[in-house]
Amino acid sequence: MKINTTILLMKHFVVLTLITMTSYTAQAQLGRCKGKYFGNIIAGNVPGNYGTFWNQATCENASKWGSIEGTKGVYNWTGSDLAYNWAKNNGGLFKFHTLVWGAQTPGWVATASTATLTASVRDFINAAAAHYNPLGGLKMIDVLNEPVNTPMTANLRAALTAGYRAEAANAGDLNNQYGWAIWCFQLARKAFPNTTLLINEYNVEMNWNNCRAPYIAIVNAIKNAPNLTNGQKNLIDGVGLQSHGIENLTAANFKACIDEIWNNTGVPIHITEFDQPANPNETKQRDVFSRLIPVAWEHPRVAGITLWGYVQGTTWINGNGQSGAGGTDSGIIYGNGGDRPAMTWLKSYLAGRPTLSCCPAPAPFGGCAVSTNRSFVVRARGTAAGAQLRLTINNVAISTYNLTTSFANYTVSSTATGTVRLEVFNDVGTWDVEVDYLQVNGTTLQAENQPINTSLYSNGRCGGGGSSQMMNCNGYIEFASAGARIEAVSEVNSEISADDIQLNIFPNPVINGYTNVEFYNEKEQDININLYGSEGRVVKNLASQKYEVGTHTISVDCSQLTTAFYYLVLEKESGRVTKKIYIQR
């Protein structure tokens, strides 16, 4: 069975007239603060209530090659800029859709020569970069659209293949059957080195005509190909599942599809064009949303969801053309702005999902910035009134304490890193100082255990050697352990890269108390995995044993840990790797 491809292609030619754009105050969109994006399309104009619901925008048609370069060499970005500027001005995420597609190409493509098209594809991608990079750049791009199910004209396919073969980086694999697809991503990565680059396809969820296997094969070919700048294999960041025609898809089969793509590619999944007609009625529409949206939203490998239209009467699936509850179109709100049952369910569902306290901007797997602020507690006393003590980090004074003659706690916070010392700088007569301990983010470091105390009077002189909590002269106790703990957390990707050991943490952020650590072991060996707090102290040992060759997954209970960033460190014979993990409680 196969979905009607004529209908699918029609959606890309429909030019909609939406509600005239009006000014509004952006409210709490459905995906706000959730750590993923939840967006929709913009076609023609921006509806006045658009920002009330969505925090990610995709042009339905205006960013396609056929819309922008109708006349060869003349680029019209007006429609694409409409959605881009909405996102830029309203804290949203814009996705460019799409650079290369077998349909909706400019009319002149049909008769153009292979050489002309090779140059034109390169020119179009470079023109997009020249236009958008000065404006702030593109964050996400559908680079290649429907490579399996939409036939590409022979001359365009030949042009892409010729472009691939002409690149020196591809000299060792000139006959790669997917060279035409790879070259699209090579051009895009060169023009957009820091952008999330996606591939996009329909019918994959239901696997009509067994299209899933060739789609996975294309993704892996792109994943394993070099970029044109330095040869790194970083061409693709996401696999798009359009999610049309999914009215009979079960939750189990939807999850199995997502799992299969991840397990066979290791590339995150984006739900790019989700919709469902109210056919035969609104109950069916609501049930499909409630059955499938949670599968995607809660899946740790899914980066975000884009719906393909939402206002009744203005979506590409117009159904029977009837407004109100009897309409069989794919809108989830009525033309007057009222909610259909699917929208009522969607609002309730997303409102009940966990939020991140820092409320990150919409992004694939959005997270919170690392807070490097650390709390220092000094417990000390002076032997006489007037004694002072100073905390320094990297020889910079952080705080100075006027000590009492009884032990007391002195607290300060700082983002500084480096060597930590407690200094006596105004030694007078009997103004000795006694330090009990220094605490760094709750970790206690006893003063008498530190190897350096240049203020101790011993062997007949100041700084005469030895470890003690007494400070008799001008000098310092150096807390080597504190310095090591503070510096340890900055050792990111040391010795070996994350790709070399295939270390993955999912979900991340952790929002329900549990996460999984997945890693690949290339030979039988001992492996240690520890979770560190921001101060560098081990808060949880996850593994310390010998592992066989292969992929291993560890379930981690984080329910007793406080909201914060942590660092997961995997150590084995060839080195170590550190990955950041955010736990939200």
Show which residues are catalytic: 146, 273
Q: Are 333 and 340 in contact (CB under 8 A)?
A: yes
**Burial grade of 412 (CB within 10 A; 0-12, 13-18, 19 or more):** middle
Q: How far is CA 421 from CA 95, 465, 486, in A?
A: 50, 17, 13
Q: What sign does the CA torsion over 129, 132, 138, 142 have?
A: negative
Rg (CA), the chain: 30
Q: E strand or H helix at 410, and its extent?
A: strand 408-414
Q: Are 201 and 138 in contact (CB under 8 A)?
A: no
Q: E strand or H helix at 142, and its extent?
A: strand 140-145
CA distance 237 to 239: 7
CA 310, distance to chain mean position in Å, is 26
Determine how many CB atoms are found less than 10 A away from the CB of residue 25: 6
Q: Are 540 and 455 in contact (CB under 8 A)?
A: no
CA 304, distance to chain mean position in Å, is 10
* Torsion of the alpha carbons at 152, 194, 171 and 114, rounded to the nearest 10: 30
Q: Which amino acid is at 449?
A: N
Strands 475-478, 470-471: pairing is unpaired
Helix (H, G, I), strand (E, B) or coil at 475: strand
CA distance 80 to 67: 9
Q: Are 545 and 554 in contact (CB under 8 A)?
A: no
Q: Are 294 and 346 in contact (CB under 8 A)?
A: no
Q: What sign does the CA torsion over 479, 482, 483, 488 have?
A: positive
Q: Identify which of 77, 30, 33 has the alpha carbon closest to the alpha carbon of residue 49.
A: 30
Scanning 192-250, the segments in alpha helix (DSSP H) are: 212-223
As a three-state string, the secondary structure of 471-537 is ECCCEEEECHHHHHHHHHCCCCCCECCHHHHCCEEECCCECCCEEEEEEEECCCEEEEEEEECCCCC
Helix (H, G, I), strand (E, B) or coil at 347: helix
